[in-house]
Amino acid sequence: MTDTQLCLATYGDPTKKAFVDKWMVRHELPAAVKPYFPKYGNIRPTAVYMNRYATEALDAVLLDLLATGLIKELKTYDGCFNVRLKRGVNEYSIHSWGLALDFNAMLNPLGVKMGSRKGMFTDAFLAVWRKHKWVCGADWKYADGMHFQFTSSYPKK
């Protein structure tokens, strides 16, 4: 099964109110992280609207990035929950379930090999995400360096 199929089977249809009511939350970021969390446009978010199953995993990675000083690599926050299809594929993006976040989209664009441009995420930064069981789009054959998704595990039913 693909991650999309697993999400659909686990969380339900992301276009339905039942999914939103059960899984989606406004997750307040850890206080220590808030001053360092990147801006979304002109606003520095203090919370992320996301799937409740991934909130602890997000806090863990952000606090680890803060502890290692690697949080400085975050320049822009480019979104989480967005019900939409994947580019060129007739299936929902993992963003549709609030399980994916994008950062530094302009510096880490879709299809650009990691490390090939100045300002892209470092190997150390990506290693922190992997350590906390996040899937890094940077690892894909068609790199999506801005993309991090929490699909390494699913809640028990």
Tokens matching residue 61: 């990675």
Q: What is the mean pLDDT of residues 94-98?
A: 98
Of the CA atoms within 13 Å of residue 132, those in its CB half-sphere come to 20
Tokens matching residue 5: 């199929």
pLDDT tens-digit readout, 37-79: 999 999 999 999 999 999 999 999 999 999 999 999 999 999 9
Angle, helix 55-68 to helix 123-131, in steps of 10 degrees: 140
Residue with tokens 């940077």: 138
Q: Is 63 exposed, middle or buried (0-12, 13-18, 19+ CB in 10 A)?
A: middle
Q: What is the mean pLDDT of residues 72-90?
A: 93
Q: Where are the beta strands (DSSP E) in 72-157?
A: 100-102, 135-136, 147-149
User: Above pLDDT 90, what percent of the chain?
Assistant: 87
User: What pLDDT does 119 receive?
Assistant: 87
* Domains of the chain in sequence order: 3-149 (3.30.1380)
Banded model confidence at residue 7, pLDDT cuts 50, 70, 90: very high
Closest CA to 131 of 44, 62, 80: 62
Cβ atoms of 96 and 113 closer than 8 Å:
no
Q: What is the mean pLDDT of residues 105-113?
A: 90
Q: Does the global pTM surpass 0.85?
A: yes
Q: Residue 59: in which H helix or E strand, if any?
A: helix 55-68
